[in-house]
């Protein structure tokens, strides 16, 4: 199968541990096209797809976008344009889905996972709202919806995570350059009191494994569109 991984830095795999590389190891006979871009928001993704186009022969495409539409509000510098409200997010996200659906046999819409490992913070309440909106679009388009927010919330339910979130873009850049090896990423994650992320956003090895496993579950069932649509 030819599989598109569409998204932001979480999909690209920097900073943090790459779940995409884990998938490639699990499915060596399949072709993965990593279309993750750092800082990507739903608006910048829509613009990118419009400008660069997308191969029209994907068997399966994952769309994982929306984290930066929440996270960028905490940063001192906004690298990409963000929507003004949920109404605009829905409109632009729909444009993205229409574009991807025309280029792939099967499409999976993935909710943002988390902004910080405390799920009662204001950012994660926004993340949950975006997830519900994305789910409604998926139902309307009859495509599969993967609720990573719920998956991560369950995984952290009994964990004593810190509230650490990197809000300085320069710190994010330093993490990219100095924390490339999995062991160093996990060590820094532990020092920050985090369980699944390096910095409250990007994945450590445990977080990357969760995403890889969830994607892998979809891929294994991708030969049966009915099971995809009904929720695996």
pLDDT per residue as tens digits for the range 27-74: 999 999 999 999 999 999 999 999 998 877 899 999 999 999 999 999
- What was the pLDDT predicted at 224? 56
Mean pLDDT of all residues in 178-183: 93
Give the CATH superfamily of 2-229.
SGNH hydrolase (3.40.50.1110)
Chain segment 156-177, per-residue pLDDT in tens:
999 999 999 999 888 888 988 8
Sign of CA dihedral 14, 17, 23, 25: positive
Q: Average pLDDT, whole number, for the chain?
A: 93
Angle between the N-to-C axes of helices 205-220 and 182-191, in degrees from 0 to 180, rounded to the nearest 10: 120
Cβ contacts of 126 within 8 Å, gap of 6 or more:
70, 115
**Peptide bond just before 15 cis, omega within 30 deg:** yes
Chain segment 118-148, per-residue pLDDT in tens:
999 999 999 999 999 999 999 999 899 999 9
Per cent of the chain over pLDDT 90 is 82
Query: How many Cα atoms within 13 Å fall on the side-chain side of residue 94?
Result: 12
Separation CA 33–CA 30 (nearest Å): 10
- What was the pLDDT predicted at 228? 44
The single-letter DSSP state of residue 149 is H
Q: Where are the domains of the chain?
A: 2-229
Does residue 107 sit in helix, strand or coil? strand
Instruction: Kindly tell me if the per-residue pLDDT of 225 is higher than 70.
Output: no
């Amino acid at each position: 199968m030819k599989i598109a991984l569409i998204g932001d830095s979480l999909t690209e795999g920097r900073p943090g541990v790459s779940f995409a590389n884990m998938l490639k190891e699990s499915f060596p006979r399949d072709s993965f096209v990593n279309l993750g871009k750092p800082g990507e928001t739903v608006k910048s993704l829509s613009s990118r797809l419009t400008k660069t186009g997308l191969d029209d022969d994907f068997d399966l495409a994952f769309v994982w976008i929306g984290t930066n539409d929440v996270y960028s509000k905490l940063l001192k510098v906004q690298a990409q344009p963000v929507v003004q409200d949920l109404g605009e997010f829905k409109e632009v996200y729909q444009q993205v889905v229409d574009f991807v659906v025309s280029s792939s046999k099967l499409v999976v819409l993935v909710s943002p996972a988390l902004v910080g490992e405390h799920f009662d913070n204001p950012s994660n309440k926004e993340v949950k709202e975006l997830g519900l909106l994305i789910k409604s679009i998926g139902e309307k388009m009859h495509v599969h919806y993967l609720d990573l927010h719920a998956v991560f919330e369950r995984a952290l339910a009994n964990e004593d995570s810190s509230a650490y979130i990197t809000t300085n873009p320069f710190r994010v850049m330093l993490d990219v350059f100095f924390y490339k090896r999995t062991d160093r990423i996990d060590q820094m994650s532990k020092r920050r009191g985090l369980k699944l992320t390096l910095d409250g956003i990007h994945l450590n090895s445990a977080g990357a494994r969760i995403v890889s496993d969830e994607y892998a579950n979809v891929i294994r069932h991708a030969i049966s569109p009915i099971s995809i649509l009904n929720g695996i």
